[in-house]
Structure 1
């Protein structure tokens, strides 16, 4: 049976996902069979992976990335419970990769909590039978005393996995010593005894300035500080929309390359209220000379070379929000290439029927942007699968041929209202300047990424990166280098003692 390390935090966004990813890569390089695990995650950025029964299911993108870092196939056991927020206090509950329904927090905890806990234990036990070490990621703060009786990702995982705990505190937020001390004081006694060390993340400056604080924290708590990690961004995919601007602000990704905006290829992305799988845009943002600009729905698309409408957890409501803000008029007057992915594809069509199934209103039919002669009909059935298609590039991906890979996670079926090009098979529709597709991960295909950028009015010097892997400075390698300062000799001794 595997040993387990739970990477917990004093709060959300203290670096848990990055540390788990880095440890997975670092320890797998040392010959340890390691697997990531997060009992319960909340994210609308998901990937299609294999379920225990051999079907396709979905997990949070962070566990997918962590599995890749650990050099093991990603499965739904690595994230058995996924909650996908859809607004109005509801989330879609996904168990072992399968969507169960939409519930508010009260209903989830009253009616589905025991099922979720049972699924989490089942998944953990399967992973533990196959690997030497499980690196589990906690959620939020491990010291939420109002949630200790139902904290699946932290308290429950620590107990059923008999886990050692690594506690992270973010110095960028200020008050890191108080956060670590307060968290340790508020943890249940049995969990407090499991803490093997604290890690301070996102530090800038002279590390010796922390010496007296570290010494006093260790004296008061008896818990050693086993690492101080510098402020750095390895470039891993983001897990949730908190990393994006609000829907009335603009933000630019990929502008750190020093290329002036006038010389860059500028990709405009509407900031949808219920945006999902926006990690689809990250391969574009990594290309030198490409700026991905998240624009508010009221944007006039001035200075934009191409538009990508991303996925959404609520296509109908986001479509109505864009139209109310005048984004449909902006699209009508836009002369560059446009790509819609998943929910964005559905918006580009003539209409959506059975709309009340997916939206929060009672409308049965909602008019689309009318840029593609297709119609989408919603049902309760959800499509989840990986796919490889033979591309016959036209429109914004003109010239692309050969195999193109990605994955589908969507509700609704799209039918064609007239004859038109299908450059990615029946998962797509295209005109000269507009492409719609259900294929997430589209720009991870180097040929698609390059062709799309070539379809704009600008030019770039460097091509698109083929993947997160394959280079000495890949995000996985960068994450492993970031966590190399964490002192973990006890992990090896615990594994050897099994």
Structure 2
């Protein structure tokens, strides 16, 4: 099978972005191409059309490849739920939670089998494979049982493109250090080097390119600039890089930065609203005077609710509500707004019979179930809604908690399957919903933001087409990245596999 594995000198060097761009370049050339990442560690998920859960990056890469995402593109997904444990999602379904040591000791052979099965399936359905590694391929303490870098490149028998981030500094040391720590047979697999996130005049780096090529004997296939793009991030390191506060914005959105925050891609559309600035709030000292407060999704709702209380942020949020501030709770954040959270089986906390008092803002009670809800959903604004008019919605649900209403409130959505979902109360200032990517619905986001703008006496703004322009953004990304690559050489390298 023709293809390549994109490995990096470190996390967040741009592996996912480069892989996404190559998938779209090949797809635009009419090629049959699939993405693949054997093992992903992320709380940012993507729900496939059949209701399975994979890493968000591979879902976006499948869109770039112009195909439907499936579990073979990311057979193993690790979702951290504490400092010690991660939930194991195998072929799209949650299995169990393990410590890092237990995972290495007991899961390795199962992981190899899952990878072999996935590669066999993908090889029978596509002509090209664009693989992505994780972190660095030379984490020496983990290398003997790694399931995501050189071991997998060998299993697929594809060459490796090594990506280095020049923006963080130390690019020469990171490249040479990585290559020198590889085993001799692994070095032979590295057929190209890519310098990413370059700023300034490229001609000033020509001597650097020659030095790298002379020192390693490996061609530098491209020097890609720091690209501003609309492709969602996945690595936790990308969170602060993507959501940079704007100096001259007029709407201040404070998002509580929970220790186990998940699916923060929910809020990426706000980064393209010119008058909106996002702040990540970790303590009461950071709270300030926001116009909007958002409680995001979380992989451990009760633990993060306890963090909200011990950090002093609960008091700030309740005070904000009493002053009629705009508040949104998504998934776990929605659950926190209720009266009580009950974890009898320990699926949320890892401990049985845990019960936690919620913020008491909404009349709901949440019980955590063993079976996880993972589903794409569509719907309309509920006909009884009095506050907003935007009608069509699509997104996805991922949650273990099931919430019951203790009394009737104003509903938010009516889903295609007939379920009433979420609520909008307190004269439209408080919203709770299980729907991830609620704000990716452009007309809805615009109307909701305009209610915030109107409350501040600001000028109303037109719709910013983020979700609708995703395919165009992928084409633009592919075109820009390709212009900085020696594409003929890279394609030759990929065809040699």
Q: TM-score, normalised by structure 1?
A: 0.90
CA contact (8 A) 1:43 1:84 kept: yes
The answer to whether the aligner puts 1:313 opposite 2:309 as a matched pair is no
Segment drifting more, 76-85 vs 350-359 = 350-359
Report the equivalent of 1:377.
Answer: 367
Report the equivalent of 1:47.
Answer: 46
Segment drifting more, 420-429 vs 474-483 = 474-483
1:270 counterpart (250, 256, 262): 256
CA contact (8 A) 1:338 1:435 kept: yes
The answer to whether the aligner puts 1:281 opposite 2:281 as a matched pair is no
CA contact (8 A) 1:24 1:34 kept: yes
1:411 counterpart (377, 386, 400): 400
CA contact (8 A) 2:191 2:218 kept: yes
The answer to whether the aligner puts 1:8 opposite 2:7 as a matched pair is yes
Stretches (4+) displaced over 6 A: 494-498
Tell me, in whole angstroms, the C-alpha distance in 2 between the residues paired with 1:150 and 1:117: 10
Report the equivalent of 1:183.
Answer: 178
| Pair 331,430 (structure 1): closer, same or farther in 2 beyond 3 Å | same
1:68 counterpart (63, 66, 82): 63
Report the equivalent of 1:451.
Answer: 447
Tell me, in whole angstroms, the C-alpha distance in 2 between the residues paired with 1:496 and 1:88: 42
Residue 401 of structure 1 and its aligned partner are, at CA, apart by 4.7
The secondary structure found in structure 1 opposite 2:52 is strand
| Pair 327,213 (structure 1): closer, same or farther in 2 beyond 3 Å | closer
The answer to whether the aligner puts 1:128 opposite 2:112 as a matched pair is no
Residue 418 of structure 1 and its aligned partner are, at CA, apart by 0.6
Segment drifting more, 212-221 vs 62-71 = 212-221
Report the equivalent of 1:431.
Answer: 425
Deviations 1:274-320 (A, max 9, x none): 11111101112221211122122315854311221100011001111
CA contact (8 A) 1:309 1:339 kept: yes
Residue 5 of structure 1 and its aligned partner are, at CA, apart by 0.6
What pairs with 1:215-230 in structure 2 (closer than 5 Å)? 215-230=210-225
Report the equivalent of 1:77.
Answer: 72
Report the equivalent of 2:417.
Answer: none
Report the equivalent of 1:248.
Answer: none
Aligned residues: 483
Deviations 1:4-35 (A, max 9, x none): 21011111111111111111122211222221
1:163 counterpart (146, 153, 158): 158
Segment drifting more, 124-133 vs 276-285 = 124-133
The secondary structure found in structure 2 opposite 1:153 is coil
The answer to whether the aligner puts 1:351 opposite 2:340 as a matched pair is yes
CA contact (8 A) 1:283 1:464 kept: no
Q: Structure 2: any 5+ residue segments left out of the alignment?
A: 415-419
CA contact (8 A) 1:446 1:464 kept: yes
Deviations 1:108-134 (A, max 9, x none): 111111112211221222222222211
Residue 360 of structure 1 and its aligned partner are, at CA, apart by 5.2
Deviations 1:187-213 (A, max 9, x none): 122222122211111222232332233
CA contact (8 A) 1:394 1:430 kept: no
1:323 counterpart (309, 315, 322): 309
The answer to whether the aligner puts 1:466 opposite 2:461 as a matched pair is no
Segment drifting more, 456-465 vs 103-112 = 456-465
Residue 362 of structure 1 and its aligned partner are, at CA, apart by 6.0
Residue 236 of structure 1 and its aligned partner are, at CA, apart by 2.1
Q: Structure 1: any 5+ residue segments left out of the alignment?
A: 246-250
The answer to whether the aligner puts 1:212 opposite 2:211 as a matched pair is no
For the aligned residue pairs, the C-alpha RMSD in angstroms reads 2.4
Residue 471 of structure 1 and its aligned partner are, at CA, apart by 7.2
Deviations 1:404-442 (A, max 9, x none): 111011111100101112221433133232221110011
The answer to whether the aligner puts 1:342 opposite 2:328 as a matched pair is no
Residue 376 of structure 1 and its aligned partner are, at CA, apart by 0.2
